[in-house]
Amino acid sequence: MNTSEKIYYLKDDKLKLLNSTISSEFELVAEIPLPQKYSLLIDDEYLFYMSMPKVNVTGKKLTAIVKNFVSTKLPGEDISLLAFLVLGNSIVITIISERFKEIITSHMLMFSNAIKVSSPFIELISRYSDFIYFDGNKIYEIKDNSISNKSTYEDVALNSEQFIEDMDGLLNNIRFPFVKKKSRLHNFPMLLPAVSLASLYLIFVIGNIISVSKYKKIEAEYSTMLSTIYTETGVAGTADPYGVLLSRANKKNISFDGERLIKILDEISTVPKEDIQLESFSYRDKSFRVNGIAKDFTVLEKFEKEMEIKTKEEVTITDSKTSQNGVVFSLRYEK
């Protein structure tokens, strides 16, 4: 036996370290002092083997096919007590004994923390093609990728002792039922809370980014609308367009409702203004006046009608005259 891999051998309900000059054997008690890295070799006394031809399916479908195969060959067998692995062109099925099920249940960590779990017979199948094997109780014959049972001892070629003597490490890993691989987080007690906290923080940050992005979009929309109002009311170029707009609204003898003014400005901003340039507006009592320049009288009349449609009020051209830049006009309507 020439391997540096720490391999513990489970036989006769005892655990023995194989590849060591120091004798180390443990009874199956509540807690077994095992190192961080080790493999388990399970004696074939706890197991029973059979085989079936390899099929080209995987996952749950393959598991169902294997269980159905065992049910037809061994009616009444508890199919929850089996494991299997594909070796070459054959599927090797491992059925565990009730005693071994008790060992797994009582010493779950011993199995879940192991790097590999295998048996002498499984390892020999990986190394040889045709042979006869004796596990101390049962005789198996391997021939043409198939496992069968023999009743006589003649021609027995291999056994577990011979395998252990020549062993150079384990090749396979049997996934026994009931064994759940434990998360490596158990080696880091503070890591799980830290990961949870980091996840919550990440959710919080992402939530805030989405929220801020949403409000930035709303802010941009209102900023664009306000810029349009400033431009169309002739205060966009001033140092304080909002102050100028507010000052005009607060002139003596002018009384207005702020919400009504904003609604009026919104109506004006959404009226089509092709070839129209608005210069200023004034608001007194319920009368609203818009001053600007139109390309020509046809454009002015179209703008007047569009204003009436939008405001649902009668709009009157109170003044208009031609100039070098077009038609200077004033429109008035009651609001």
Q: What are the pLDDT digits (tens) for 188-200?
A: 455 556 656 666 7
Percent of the chain residues past pLDDT 90, beyond the cut: 13
Residue 211's pLDDT band, with cuts at 50, 70 and 90, is low
The answer to whether residue 182 scores a pLDDT higher than 60 is: no
- Residue 186 pLDDT exceeds 50: no
Q: Residue 162 in contact with residue 132, Cβ under 8 Å?
A: no
Across the chain, mean pLDDT equals 80
Thinking of the domain 7-182, which architecture would CATH place it in?
A: 2-Layer Sandwich (3.30)
In this prediction, residues 112-136 reach a mean pLDDT of 90
End-to-end CA distance of the chain: give it in Å, rounded.
103
CB contact at 8 A, 293 and 325? yes
CA torsion 227→231→233→234, rounded to 10°?
130
Are 245 and 232 within 8 A, CB to CB? no
Instruction: Give residue 46's pLDDT band: very low, low, confident or very high (50, 70, 90).
Output: very high
Do 49 and 26 meet the contact criterion of CB atoms below 8 Å apart? Answer: no
**Tokens standing for residue 228:** 């349009």
Lowest mean pLDDT among 29-33, 167-171, 192-196, 331-335: 192-196
The residues near 207 (Cβ < 8 Å, ≥ 6 apart) are none
Q: State yes or no: pLDDT of 232 exceeds 60.
A: yes
Q: Which residues contact 294 (CB under 8 A, 6 or more apart)?
A: 275, 276, 277, 300, 303, 326, 327, 329
pLDDT of res. 120: 94
pLDDT band for 235, please (50, 70, 90 cuts).
Answer: confident
pLDDT at 44 over 90: yes
Other beta carbons less than 10 A from residue 145's beta carbon? 17
- pLDDT at position 92 is 93
* Higher-confidence position of 28 and 99: 99
Confidence of residue 93 (pLDDT cuts 50, 70, 90): very high
pLDDT at res. 65? 92
Query: How sure is the predictor about 121, in pLDDT bands with cuts at 50, 70 and 90?
Result: very high
Tell me if residue 23 falls in helix, strand or coil: coil
- Least confident range from 128-132, 140-144, 225-229: namely 225-229
CB atoms within 10 A of CB 152: 8
Give the per-residue pLDDT at 43. Answer: 94
> Would you kindly state where each structural domain of the chain is located, as residue ranges?
7-182, 233-334
Beta strands 82-87 and 90-96, pairing class: antiparallel
Where is average pLDDT lowest: 72-76, 118-122, 211-215, 216-220? 211-215
> Quick one: fold of 233-334?
Gyrase A; domain 2 (3.30.1360)
Please provide residue 20's backbone torsions phi and psi, each rounded to the nearest 5 degrees.
-150, 145
pLDDT at 316 over 70: yes
Residue type, 134: F
